[in-house]
């Protein structure tokens, strides 16, 4: 199956506008690389399937979900469940889908990267990462918790002018098609469609002004083509009718085409062992963090008690002396003295110990 392009993501985001106004009810993580999000709005239940790095789409089937959530899934549930979807968008023409949802405490942003190795990133309202599927380090940025997340800007094909296209195609020694595919950020699949519509040979290396004008016109045709989702021969999903690949079986939505092409099972499951190991490590780390927090609390309590005893040393010493004297006078004297000191919960005559509520 081919990778989704920025054009595919644009059409998918249009379909995903159905999510706006719905409430996230449940988040599942059937595999390390996959999520299923259940949402509801009045009179409608919605399911969104995310399989990185290949695809994201609406689905009608929940499937079998794990009995126990992973640590990653639990984190997503903590922040997302109960929130209302406010925004579903594609930043510029990136292969990224941004879902913003909100609760009374504020907004949360979920970013699904549908390129490269794929990723899912959860940030707070300030753009700080609070959860991430895959931590990664690059030359110019690091993706991990507590770091800032920004969508990396690439070429915006929807704003590409004919002059910019001419400059792009005249500054390379590669084939025009591959230069166009990479430079415009639409991938080879749609680049071939643009060249077919423009009547320019895909293997052309030298282009004149007429060719560039035709390519820019054909690009706009592809970008503005009416929605007509279908599954093409070979199990290839497309949101529009193509001249480079005629025919295909029409589907009601692009999501249906993606799902019917088997994208939901496309990602390998070889990461399951890694996911289990990561879950075990995360549980171990959490247990250690909880243990440290308990020790710190115990130390704080001990310090508070010690400081109180020090501050009230003279008073407590006088109380002990009074109880020693009352012990010699009998039980009535002890009981009378206890009534005078409400902070005394118990007096142990055998060891001359006081139990105080301080």
Question: What is the structure's pLDDT at 268?
Answer: 41
Question: What is the structure's pLDDT at 26?
Answer: 96
Q: What is the mean pLDDT of residues 297-325?
A: 82
User: In whole angstroms, what is the distance from residue 146 CA to residue 169 CA?
Assistant: 41
301 lies in some domain:
no
Are 125 and 35 in the same domain?
Answer: yes
Are 108 and 29 in the same domain?
Answer: yes
pLDDT band at 224 (very low <50, low <70, confident <90, very high): very high
120 lies in some domain:
yes
Are 109 and 163 in the same domain?
Answer: no
Are 80 and 166 in the same domain?
Answer: no
Among 197, 224, 251, give the residue marking a domain's end: 224
Has residue 7 got a pLDDT over 70? Answer: yes
- Tell me how many domains the chain contains: 3
Among 224, 240, 267, give the residue marking a domain's end: 224
264 lies in some domain:
no
Q: Which residue has the higher pLDDT, 65 or 315?
A: 65
256 lies in some domain:
no
The SS3 call for residue 27 is: strand
pLDDT band at 265 (very low <50, low <70, confident <90, very high): very low
Q: What is the CATH number of the domain that holds 51?
A: 2.30.310.10
Least confident of 1-10, 17-26, 165-174: 165-174
The SS3 call for residue 131 is: strand
pLDDT band at 1 (very low <50, low <70, confident <90, very high): low
Whole-prediction pTM: 0.71
Query: How many helices (H) and strands (E) in the chain?
Result: 10, 16
Domain that holds residue 339: 312-356
Question: What is the structure's pLDDT at 269?
Answer: 39
Question: What is the structure's pLDDT at 271?
Answer: 44
Are 29 and 135 in the same domain?
Answer: yes
218 lies in some domain:
yes
Question: What is the structure's pLDDT at 54?
Answer: 82
Question: What is the structure's pLDDT at 338?
Answer: 78
Q: In 3D, which of 163, 160, 138, 159 has the Cα closest to residue 149?
A: 138
Among 130, 154, 178, give the residue marking a domain's end: 154
pLDDT band at 106 (very low <50, low <70, confident <90, very high): very high
Q: What are phi and psi of 307, to 5 degrees?
A: -65, -40
Q: What are phi and psi of 188, to 5 degrees?
A: -65, -35
Q: What is the mean pLDDT of residues 86-100?
A: 94
């Amino acid at each position: 199956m081919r990778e989704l392009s920025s054009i595919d993501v644009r059409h998918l985001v249009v379909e995903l506008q159905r999510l706006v106004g719905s409430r996230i009810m449940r988040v599942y993580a059937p595999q390390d690389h996959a999520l299923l999000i259940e949402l509801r709005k009045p009179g409608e239940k919605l399911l969104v399937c995310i399989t990185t790095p290949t695809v994201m789409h609406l689905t009608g089937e929940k499937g079998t979900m794990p009995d126990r959530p992973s640590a990653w899934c639990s984190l997503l549930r903590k922040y997302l469940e109960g929130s209302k979807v406010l925004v579903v968008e594609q930043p510029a023409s990136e292969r990224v889908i941004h879902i913003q949802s909100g609760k009374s405490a504020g907004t949360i942003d979920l970013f699904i990267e549908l390129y490269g190795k794929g990723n899912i990133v959860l940030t707070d309202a300030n753009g700080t990462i609070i959860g991430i599927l895959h931590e990664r380090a690059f030359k110019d940025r690091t993706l991990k918790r507590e770091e800032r997340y920004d969508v990396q800007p690439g070429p915006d094909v929807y704003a590409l002018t004919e002059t910019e296209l001419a400059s792009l195609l005249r500054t390379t020694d590669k084939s025009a098609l591959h230069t166009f595919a990479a430079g415009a950020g639409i991938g080879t699949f749609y680049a071939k469609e643009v060249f077919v519509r423009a009547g320019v040979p895909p293997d052309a290396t030298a282009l004149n002004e007429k060719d560039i004008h035709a390519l820019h016109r054909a690009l706009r045709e592809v970008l503005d083509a009416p929605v007509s989702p279908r599954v093409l021969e070979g199990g290839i999903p497309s949101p529009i009718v193509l001249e480079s690949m005629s025919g295909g079986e029409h589907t009601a939505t692009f999501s249906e085409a993606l799902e019917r092409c088997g994208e939901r099972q496309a990602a390998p499951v070889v990461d399951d062992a890694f996911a289990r190991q990561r879950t075990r490590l995360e549980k171990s780390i959490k247990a250690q963090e909880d243990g440290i927090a308990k020790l710190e609390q115990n130390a704080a309590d001990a310090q508070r008690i010690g400081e109180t005893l020090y501050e009230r040393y003279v008073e407590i010493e006088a109380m002990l002396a009074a109880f020693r004297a009352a012990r010699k006078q009998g039980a009535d004297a002890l009981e009378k003295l206890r009534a005078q000191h409400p902070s005394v919960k118990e007096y142990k005559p055998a060891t001359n110990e006081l139990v105080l509520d301080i």
